[in-house]
Amino acid sequence: MDYILKILPYIAEGSVVTLAIFGFTLIFSIPAGLLLAIGNLSRFKFLRAIIQFYILIMRGTPLMLQVLFVYFGLPVFGIRFDNFTSAVIAFSLNYAAYFAEIFRGGIESVDKGQYEAASAIGLSPARTMCFIILPQAFRCVLPSLSNETITLVKDTALVQIIALEEVIRAATLAVQRDLTVIPFFVAAVFYLLMTIALTWIFKKLELRYSLAA
């Protein structure tokens, strides 16, 4: 127990970085994913083609490779970011593609009669999407959003490849220094607690939306 208390400050410092990457990624990727989903369902073929190509690239290549490209590749073109900003950019671009497909599926699942009813009462397409379609779509995609968000928590461990001091890197350094695997168990508890908290939040959201339906 004394050893765990000794290493907790190091793990806690790493957890701050992990939580920051997680939070900023959600802030940027969810709105971006929603916009991509709406654009992917528009009547403009060229716009749909660009979005579909973007989604193909983001989902078809490893997130680790994307992180490395932003951090090491973009400087070749004169664009430089620090390691934290690089991680947030790469994660946001990647998860925006996944959220786009989730939202697209949710929007497409809404009955076409909803559009016709909204048009009959004089709602514009934009207001129909915002006030009629998206609330129903959001209820449908909550389980998928929950799974993807939990995956994001675990994916944050990838940022150690660009020397960010997140939870796994902090634990690994402690293991190498002290020759014990206890820090890995402490890191595992952190991820488990994060997963439990997110699962609880999404369960509450699902219950709220099911009662409102």
Each residue's pLDDT tens digit, 18-55: 999 999 999 999 999 999 999 999 889 999 999 999 99
Residue 65 confidence (pLDDT) above 70? yes
Are 98 and 59 contacting, i.e. CB atoms less than 8 angstroms apart?
A: yes
Distance CA 69, CA 128 (A): 39
- pLDDT for position 212: 59
pLDDT at 193 over 90: yes
pLDDT of residue 211: 66
The correct CATH number of 2-212 out of 3.90.1150.10, 3.30.70.20, 1.10.3720.10, 3.90.79.10 is 1.10.3720.10
CA distance 189 to 166: 14
Cα(68)–Cα(73) distance, integer angstroms: 7
**Residue 161 · residue 64 · CB < 8 Å:** yes
Contact indicator for 137, 106 with CB cutoff of 8 Å: yes
Q: What is the spatial distance between Cα 115 and Cα 124, in angstroms, rounded to a whole number?
A: 10
pLDDT digits over 67-86, tens only? 999 999 999 999 999 999 99
Token representation of residue 55: 């989604």
**In this structure, what token pair is assigned to residue 16?**
């701050």
Residue type, 36: L
Q: Is 74 exposed, middle or buried (0-12, 13-18, 19+ CB in 10 A)?
A: middle
Task: Encode pLDDT of 136-188 as tens digits.
Answer: 899 889 999 999 999 999 999 999 999 888 899 889 989 988 888 999 999 99
CA–CA separation, 47 vs 41, rounded Å?
9
Q: Where are the domains of the chain?
A: 2-212
